[in-house]
Amino acid sequence: MTGQRVAGSSDYTGGLVGRIQGDSTIAGAVLTGQNITGGDFTGGLAGESTGSAVQRVVLSGGQIVGGTNVGGLFGMFSGGLLHLASADAAVQSSGNQTGGLAGQVVNLADLRQVYSTGSVSGSYSTGGLAGFVGGGSVIADGYSRAAVSGGQRAGGFAGQLNASTISRCYSTGAVNGWSAVGGFLGLVSGGQVNYSYWDTQTSGPSSSSAGTGRTTEQMQQQASYETWDFDTIWWIQVGADYPRHLTNPRQVTVLAQPETGGMVSGGGTYEHGQNATVIAEPAVGFRFESWTENDGVVSTDLEYTFEVTSDRTLTANFTPLFPGGDGSADHPFHVGSAEQLDMIRLFPDKHFSLSQSVDLDVEPWNQGQGWIPVGTESTPFSGTVDGGGNVINGLFLNRPDDSRQGLFGSTHNATIKNLALTNIDITGMETVGGLVGNYTGGTISGCYVTGTVKGNNSKTGGLVGQNTGGTISESYFVGAVSGTNEVGGIVGENQDDGTISNSYATGTVSGTGSDVGGLVGVNQSGEINNCYSTNEVSGNRLVGGLVGYFFRGSVNSCYATGDVSGNADATGGLVGSIYQGEVIDSYATGLVEGDNKVGGLVGYISNSGSVTNSYATGAVTGNEDFGGLVGSRLSGTVTNSFWDTQTSELTTSADGTGKTTTQMRLLATFADAGWDIEEATDAYTGQPYPGLRMEAGKAWQIMASYAVTYDANQATGGNVPGPQVKFHDEPLSLSHNTGDLVRTGSNFSGWNTQANGNGTDYAEGATYPVNASVTLYAKWTAATYGLTVNNGSGSGQYAVGTVVNIQADPPAAGRIFDKWVGDVADVNSASTTVTMPASNITVTATYKDLPPTNYSLAVSSVGASGVTITGNQSIYGGTTNYTLPRITPGTEIILAAPAVGEGAPFVSWTGCDATNQSARTCTVTMNGNKSVTATYGGAKTSLPGVLMLLLDE
């Protein structure tokens, strides 16, 4: 019975029955949480029992309240047997005879292996087990741990004993009263107490009417209990507890550490020798480690079974799998290691966030087959992973025979955001992606992957193998993707309203079969918006720079720039084949090579497929049905779309309009076709052709252009050059004169921004850098003719009638200016003028040798006069002082002086060439005017008064 509630004031009140009489038997009763209120004779089981047999009865918890004769099980137990019984309750009496098990035990009653716990309070004869024991009754092998509060005759075991026997019993509860108070018995008025004890420390009283007092330490030693049967009746945890019955329920307590780590079960009361099984159930985010007792490990199994022979307290120890969070959306599990990343698979519906980057390029993750994908087909991952901008590096997965391969194998309505995978190396069979193999519903945003992804069959993508109804945004892939069919840079197959936006792929994409695209292999009823691919793409058939095969859905504001090659039919710079799908505001610039149905933008259009406001510029080659924009169109429409006839090297297409490169760069080409386009002066996608804005405003941008026109500026003949287009920030080489543009009396000298020539000058072929339209005027200057001055200065171009000063160069040594040859004002003047005629002229200064020069020689004597000096066999003059004029330069004259002059002897010459001038011979080389003197000394002798020079000419 559980939770029995009886309230009233009647006598003989019990939780089960009021009174038990005669030969009644009660066995195996368990009463829990009894709350009984009555008058006299009130008990948790019965108010009174007379002559009955009761065994194996347990009362646990509750409150028993009454008048006189109140007990935990019985108000009065008279006669009969009460074996293997216990009560744990709060017993309260307003009168006499109150006990934890029975108020009175009388009339030869036999109580064995009974005990009480809890609390007892009464007025007279109050005891932990029984209030009054009398009438030849016997209580053997019992104990009480109840706290006792009474007036008179209060005892830890019994309040009063009369003509009865108590053997092998003990008490430990605190005892309070004001008269006849004892640790074991309050009052003994007859009878015997054998081998019975009370704890003097826990009970309070140091004396008792009967029994032996012992300390707590003594009470917990088996040796303290003389004659007690510890083989079949009692057992004790020496040093830890008091004796208990072998038949006593043993308490097994189970705890969880930490408390939030999991659930534990199996605790409770067990009979001695009974097997107990305790079970640990880890909470989400925790791992069970072990069962421990007294700091020692007793088991590492979740379920631990053991034989109960004592009270035990077992702790289930749990370890958090993640360093933080509880897996909820508001408090996601924190992931900061490879091990923690791997444990995501244990909680496929929970929420996770990366607290730091994780390296998987270490053992064991990069060994053998490597990573095991998180999420299976039967149990897909459906939670959330927020990478927080952190990186998972070195993911290695080598399972060529397994499908649904990637960091996540399968997901369902999962959210993956802000996560990066770098340097991945993944190989699988089918439905293989760098991030997710099979992605159904949910959202991927702000993610990127770098590395290689290989699938041996279909549906292989850089991020996702197959996307069914999911949303992928602001994500990209860089690397190499290869497979057989349905191979794409971002997604292998995008289907069932799957959406891809603001994402891109770059690297290479290759497939040996069909449906191969730079971004998506095959799109079936999906949407692709604001995306691009720079991948080099190759495949067999249905190959496109962005999408291989487009089956329903739309491509909007997308472009592809990589080269595309296919071996069979339907190869396109943007889309290989469109079936009931539409391409809007998109373009392709890569080279396209294929066999059949090859187009710069789309290879093949059928079944109401459409292309609107799109263009292509790449070179296109094919063997059959190939065109600059569209290779072949079975049905469908192409509206306001163009291709570059020069860069594509094709002037034909299955549809669309061909334009020259310059026309493809002009705003008017597209604005006139109704495009939502505006000019730009900064960088944008698509340069130098129209580029997608991919933000608020016009759908397209095109580089601003400016007109450069030419004006003959009053030319009298010839043709002016045609206009040119100057693109923003691109240099433009200006035109030359056409060759026949002339003006009478003037020369062409380039271009000028003003007709009067006062603006900015530009030479023919010069670079025009200004971002503005301009009209350039022919610049004319008056006609000039050339004057060539040989051996002088003044050469140049001069207008007719110009008077030009000319000057002859200085003559060389030994020469002098002679005259001018040509039409000059003064032919004999080294400095003169030339008046320019209407033709080129040449004038030349000429020179001649200098005429011969004569020198003079003065001859004189000192100390004598009238001496005759002979020179060169000729005699000149007749005096000693004489000058010889007009001597040819270089003439060598030899003079001879007489030995004596006027009686004086010759002394020396001065002015001669010879160093020994004391000789009478003097040699003079005439290289200038010179003078020589003959000196005489001593007595003078009269000589003729004539100086004679003999010169040999």
Task: Give the tens place of pLDDT for each residue, 28-43.
Answer: 888 988 899 999 999 9
Overall average pLDDT of the 771-782 stretch: 92
Answer yes or no: same fold for 706-782 and 855-936: yes
Whole-number pLDDT of residue 2 = 46
Whole-number pLDDT of residue 127 = 98
For residues 624 and 633, the answer to whether their CB atoms sit within 8 Å is no
- 706-782 fold: Immunoglobulin-like (2.60.40)
Is a pLDDT exceeding 80 seen at residue 544? Answer: yes
Q: Give the pLDDT band (50/70/90) at residue 506.
A: very high
DSSP string covering 903-930 = TEEEEEEES-SSS-TTSSEEEEE-SS-E
Whole-number pLDDT of residue 852 = 66
Q: What is the pLDDT of residues 853-868, one digit of tens each?
A: 778 888 888 877 767 7
Whole-number pLDDT of residue 943 = 33
Overall average pLDDT of the 884-891 stretch: 78
Pairing of strands 624-627, 596-599: parallel
Could you state, in order of their start, the residue ranges of all structural domains in the chain? 5-235, 249-320, 706-782, 785-849, 855-936
Is a pLDDT exceeding 90 seen at residue 1? Answer: no
Overall average pLDDT of the 434-451 stretch: 98
Overall average pLDDT of the 10-23 stretch: 89
Is a pLDDT exceeding 50 seen at residue 951? Answer: no
Is a pLDDT exceeding 80 seen at residue 946? Answer: no
φ/ψ (deg, to 5) at 616: -145, 150
Strands lying side by side in the sheet with 700-703: 677-680, 700-703, 691-692
Whole-number pLDDT of residue 3 = 45
Whole-number pLDDT of residue 28 = 86
Is a pLDDT exceeding 60 seen at residue 915? Answer: no
Task: Give the DSSP letter of residue 874.
Answer: B
For residues 465 and 488, the answer to whether their CB atoms sit within 8 Å is no
H or E element in which residue 219 lies: helix 216-219
Structure-derived torsion over alpha carbons of residues 271, 272, 277, 282, reported in degrees to the nearest 10: 90
Q: Give the pLDDT band (50/70/90) at residue 269.
A: confident
The CATH number of 855-936 is 2.60.40
Side-chain-side CA neighbours of residue 338 (13 Å): 15
Whole-number pLDDT of residue 382 = 98
Side-chain-side CA neighbours of residue 88 (13 Å): 11
Q: Give the pLDDT band (50/70/90) at residue 131.
A: very high
Q: Give the pLDDT band (50/70/90) at residue 880.
A: low
DSSP string covering 289-358 = EEEEETTEEEE-SSEEEEE-SS-EEEEEEEEESSSS--SSSSSPEEE-SHHHHHGGGG-TTSEEEESS-E
Q: What is the pLDDT of residues 457-484, one digit of tens each?
A: 999 999 999 999 999 999 999 999 999 9
Q: Which of 841, 480, 528, 844 is nearest to 692 (CA)?
A: 528
Is a pLDDT exceeding 90 seen at residue 906? Answer: no
Q: What is the pLDDT of residues 382-391, one digit of tens each?
A: 999 999 999 9
For residues 106 and 136, the answer to whether their CB atoms sit within 8 Å is no
The token duo for 644 is 């570059």
Q: What is the pLDDT of residues 794-832, one digit of tens each?
A: 999 888 889 999 999 999 887 899 999 999 999 999 999
Is a pLDDT exceeding 90 seen at residue 252? Answer: yes
Overall average pLDDT of the 334-352 stretch: 97
b/e sequence 610-620, b meaning 16+ C-beta within 10 Å = bbbbbbbbbbb
The larger pLDDT score, comparing residue 609 to residue 873, is at: 609
Q: What is the pLDDT of residues 647-678, one digit of tens each?
A: 999 999 999 999 999 999 999 999 999 999 99
The larger pLDDT score, comparing residue 401 to residue 2, is at: 401
The larger pLDDT score, comparing residue 851 to residue 156, is at: 156
Overall average pLDDT of the 342-362 stretch: 97
Side chain identity at residue 268, one-letter code: G
Whole-number pLDDT of residue 783 = 83
Side-chain-side CA neighbours of residue 13 (13 Å): 22
Q: Give the pLDDT band (50/70/90) at residue 454.
A: very high
Whole-number pLDDT of residue 695 = 64
Q: What is the pLDDT of residues 89-122, one digit of tens each?
A: 999 999 999 999 999 999 999 999 999 999 999 9
The larger pLDDT score, comparing residue 563 to residue 698, is at: 563
Q: How far apart are CA 233 and CA 439, in angstroms?
A: 68
DSSP string covering 344-401 = GGG-TTSEEEESS-EE-SSTTTTSTTBPPPB--SSS-B-SEEE-TT-EEE--EEE-TT
Overall average pLDDT of the 907-925 stretch: 81
Whole-number pLDDT of residue 866 = 67
Q: What is the pLDDT of residues 553-604, one digit of tens each?
A: 999 999 999 999 999 999 999 999 999 999 999 999 999 999 999 999 999 9
Whole-number pLDDT of residue 21 = 87
Q: What is the pLDDT of residues 483-505, one digit of tens each?
A: 999 999 999 999 999 999 999 99
Give the N- to C-terminal CA distance of the chain in Å, as an integer.
Answer: 177
The CATH number of 5-235 is 2.160.20.110
Is a pLDDT exceeding 90 seen at residue 738? Answer: no
Mean pLDDT score of the chain: 92
Q: How far apart are CA 461 and CA 509, in angstroms?
A: 9
Q: Is this model's pTM higher than 0.85 or not?
A: no
Q: Give the pLDDT band (50/70/90) at residue 784.
A: confident
Whole-number pLDDT of residue 311 = 85
